[in-house]
Chains A and B, each alone.
Chain A
Amino acid sequence: AQSVTQPDIHITVSEGASLELRCNYSYGATPYLFWYVQSPGQGLQLLLKYFSGDTLVQGIKGFEAEFKRSQSSFNLRKPSVHWSDAAEYFCAVGYNDMRFGAGTRLTVKP
């Protein structure tokens, strides 16, 4: 069965510090992989996606993610976090439909 695990419910980082949000998945084959961000009361914004090819994917707002097949992981990273990055982050996987992880809430300290 398909599943997506985001082990960290809540992460707090200082502004300017680096960030890594974890995502692991279980799927029959290599699925399409996505990271979305959601601000309170808002819809979803796509940060980046992986379909195939280069396993290091660059996205918007300075985010990147690395697909590691051996670990079934697709972790999201940003070298220097800005206060405006505070939001809920969702990892999603799928081919036809899309399943979401539980989400990681990011708090940014001044």
Chain B
Amino acid sequence: GAVVSQHPSRVICKSGTSVKIECRSLDFQATTMFWYRQFPKQSLMLMATSNEGSKATYEQGVEKDKFLINHASLTLSTLTVTSAHPEDSSFYICSARPGVGGELFFGEGSRLTVL
């Protein structure tokens, strides 16, 4: 199956700093990627849809200025958590698919801890 890779898998940062998480589709091109957030013992919540070459579409309640998404190429989307605070600590997971509809392939996830 298709492979989606996330980096870093774990990151610890100080409050007030910004953190960038990368999501790459390794063996296919993805015009659309999706970013999810998962709090401990909770489900995955869709944060935003990342569109190559255009602005991301954010779900209701997700702060666009805090969670910056850039989809600069067909194989790379980045999520930047700006001015991170402890409440931003979470497991962030990206996903992508080769076309429209069908199975989404998920990255391994990135665990962010903000001190």
A residues with a Cβ closer than 8 A to B are: 32, 34, 41-44, 46, 49, 51, 90, 94-103, 105
Contact = CB atoms under 8 A, between A and B. Distances in A.
B43 A102 contact: yes
A90 B43 contact: yes
Contact of A103 (B42, B46, B101): B42
Interface stretch (B20-28, B61-69, B77-85, B106-114): B106-114
Given A32-B101, A32-B102, A51-B102, A97 B107 contact: no
12 contacts: A32-B103, A41-B111, A42-B108, A43-B106, A43-B108, A43-B109, A44-B93, A98-B34, A100-B36, A100-B43, A100-B44, A105-B41
A98 B101 contact: no
A85 B103 CA distance: 23
Contacts of B49: 97
Contact of B34 (A34, A44, A97, A101): A97
The 7 A-B pairs at the shortest CB distance, nearest first, are namely A43-B108, A100-B44, A43-B109, A44-B106, A100-B43, A102-B43, A103-B43
A97 B46 contact: yes
A38 B108 CA distance: 11
Given A32-B102, A41-B111, A102-B42, 7 more contacts: A42-B108, A43-B93, A43-B106, A94-B104, A100-B45, A100-B46, A102-B43
A43 B107 contact: yes
Contacts of B43: 90, 100-103
Contacts of B100: 96
A42 B102 CA distance: 23
Given A32-B101, A49-B103, A96 B32 contact: yes
A49 B43 CA distance: 18
| Most-contacted residue by chain A among B43, B100, B111 (CB, 10 A) | B43
A32 to B, nearest CB: 7
A96 B100 CA distance: 6
Nearest to B107: A43
